[in-house]
């Protein structure tokens, strides 16, 4: 026995510590990504201000270049990370009605809620499977079914899961027919998911219209740059040949005007991309964070096209 005591843990872990909610490493990754993106954005913003006030010089790079990088750093990571998180939650919630229906079917055959959850853990429910098997393991270690559902809702932390687990826990505590409650909740969640999918499908058409309008705007800017700017340059040349002493003044005014016009073209395209991206995300699923992903794409394409072609 003395030899076995050597392998005994220094303290016994409680069931909540072994199977309870844990800090998800992905949350830490999100914090690291957001912090790094914020540092990059602030650094580029500071460099842009220094360039604007002439404190430093970096050759052909302008303050607008660093402002664009700061904007991309502020929108891209947040948009793509939040969209990935949204897709994972959506995939997890899609299998929730199927799980509830299987638990309800087991309950109709006389099985308790705990036994029904352990029986359903043998099935496959996509991204929801690990959490269901964890609930079954908790029940096997002696935790009640209601407590396992509570811990499950605390781990997942989505509105649908929290609301569903709350209803099931109250029904089980009240001693009602849990199987009927599970069937009703399963049907309600499935109908909500179908409505959300139909809404997203309908909003996709509007999102495509926004992208088309944005690219039409870029094409218009490029056409104006190809037609309007040469007209200004030729007007300066004609004025130089006709007005004699005033030629230098007109030519210098046109020379200063052309960079300003091109700057307006680029700045308007960037603002257009930022606003259109947020609008597209709001139309798609009602989340501004998801819209930042579209803003990143539009701003990057606008900067890449116009910064290279507006020369």
The 3 state secondary structure assigned to the chain is CHHHHCCCCCCCCCHHHHHCCCCCHHHHHHHHHHHHHHHHHHHHHHHHHHHHCCCCCCCCCCHHHHHHHHHHHHHHHHHHHHHHHHHHHHHHHHCHHHHHHHHHHHHHCCCCHHHHHHHHCCCCCHHHHHHHHHHHHHHHCCCCHHHHHHHHHHHHCCHHHHHHHHHHHHHHHHCCCHHHHHHHHHHHHHHHHHHHHHHHHHHHHHHHHHHHHHHHHHHHHHHHHHHHHHHHHHHHHHHHHHCHHHHHHHHHHHHHHHHHHHHHHHHHHHHHHHHHHHHHHHHHHCCHHHHHHHHHHHHHHHHHHHHHHCC
Q: How many domains does the chain contain in total?
A: 3
Do 114 and 87 have their domain in common?
no
Rounded to an integer, the average pLDDT of 30-35 is 86
Residue 1 is assigned to a structural domain of this protein: no
Do 132 and 108 have their domain in common?
yes
The answer to whether residue 190 scores a pLDDT higher than 60 is yes
The answer to whether residue 6 scores a pLDDT higher than 50 is no
Q: What is the pLDDT of residue 254?
A: 61
Cα 50 off chain centre by:
32
- pLDDT one-digit tens code per residue, 161-188: 888 888 888 888 877 678 888 888 888 8
The answer to whether residue 45 scores a pLDDT higher than 50 is yes
Q: What is the pLDDT of residue 144?
A: 86
Do 22 and 52 have their domain in common?
yes
Residue 215 CB partners (closer than 8 Å, separation 6+): none
Residue 300 is assigned to a structural domain of this protein: yes
Q: What is the pLDDT of residue 10?
A: 41
Do 162 and 199 have their domain in common?
no
The angle formed by the CA atoms of residues 255, 258 and 261, to the nearest 5 degrees, is: 150
Rounded to an integer, the average pLDDT of 204-212 is 89
Rounded to an integer, the average pLDDT of 109-126 is 84
Do 131 and 219 have their domain in common?
no
The answer to whether residue 288 scores a pLDDT higher than 90 is no
The answer to whether residue 259 scores a pLDDT higher than 50 is yes
Cα 138 off chain centre by:
33
Rounded to an integer, the average pLDDT of 109-121 is 84
Residue 25 is assigned to a structural domain of this protein: yes
Residue finishing a domain among 111, 146, 176: 176
Q: What is the pLDDT of residue 297?
A: 93
Answer for the pair 300, 72: CB distance below 8 angstroms, yes or no: yes
The answer to whether residue 115 scores a pLDDT higher than 90 is no
The answer to whether residue 14 scores a pLDDT higher than 60 is no
Rounded to an integer, the average pLDDT of 42-62 is 79
Do 104 and 121 have their domain in common?
yes
Residue finishing a domain among 68, 91, 114: 91
Answer for the pair 161, 152: CB distance below 8 angstroms, yes or no: yes
- pLDDT one-digit tens code per residue, 61-111: 788 888 999 999 999 999 898 888 888 888 888 888 888 898 888 888 778
Do 146 and 248 have their domain in common?
no
Do 205 and 265 have their domain in common?
yes
The answer to whether residue 260 scores a pLDDT higher than 60 is yes
Residue 256 is assigned to a structural domain of this protein: yes
Q: What is the pLDDT of residue 255?
A: 63
Residue 214 is assigned to a structural domain of this protein: yes
* Tokens linked to 253: 């005014």
Is the dihedral angle over the CA atoms 160, 162, 166, 172 positive or is it negative?
A: positive
Do 203 and 305 have their domain in common?
yes
pLDDT-derived band at 310 (thresholds 50, 70, 90) equals: low
Range of the structural domain that residue 37 is part of: 7-91
Residue finishing a domain among 45, 73, 91: 91
């Amino acid at each position: 026995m003395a030899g076995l005591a050597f392998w005994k843990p220094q303290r016994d872990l409680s069931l909540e510590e072994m199977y309870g909610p844990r800090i998800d490493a992905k949350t830490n990754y999100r914090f690291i990504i957001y912090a790094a993106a914020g540092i990059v954005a602030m650094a580029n913003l500071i460099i842009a201000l220094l360039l604007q006030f002439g404190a430093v010089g970096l050759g052909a790079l302008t303050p607008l270049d660093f402002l664009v990088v700061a904007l991309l750093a502020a929108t891209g990571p947040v948009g793509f990370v939040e969209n990935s998180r949204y897709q994972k939650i959506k995939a997890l919630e899609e299998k929730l009605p199927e799980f509830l229906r299987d638990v309800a079917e087991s309950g109709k055959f006389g099985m308790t809620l705990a036994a029904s959850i352990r029986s359903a853990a043998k099935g496959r429910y996509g991204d929801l499977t690990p959490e269901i098997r964890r609930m079954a393991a908790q029940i096997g270690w002696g935790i009640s079914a209601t407590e396992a559902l509570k811990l499950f809702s605390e781990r997942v932390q989505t509105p649908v899961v929290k609301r569903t687990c709350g209803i099931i826990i109250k029904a089980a505590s009240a001693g009602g027919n849990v199987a009927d409650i599970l069937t009703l909740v399963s049907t309600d969640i499935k109908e909500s998911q179908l409505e959300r999918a139909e809404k997203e499908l309908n909003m996709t058409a509007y999102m495509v219209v926004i992208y088309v309008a944005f690219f039409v705007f870029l094409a218009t800017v490029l056409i104006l740059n190809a037609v309007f700017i040469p007209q200004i340059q030729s007007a300066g040349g004609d004025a130089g040949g006709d007005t004699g002493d005033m030629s230098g003044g007109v030519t210098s005014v046109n020379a200063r005007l052309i960079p300003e016009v091109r700057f307006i073209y680029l700045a308007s395209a960037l603002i257009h991309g930022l606003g259109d991206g947020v609008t597209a995300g709001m139309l798609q699923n009602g989340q501004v964070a998801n819209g930042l992903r579209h803003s990143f794409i539009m701003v990057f394409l606008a900067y890449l096209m116009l910064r290279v072609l507006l020369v």
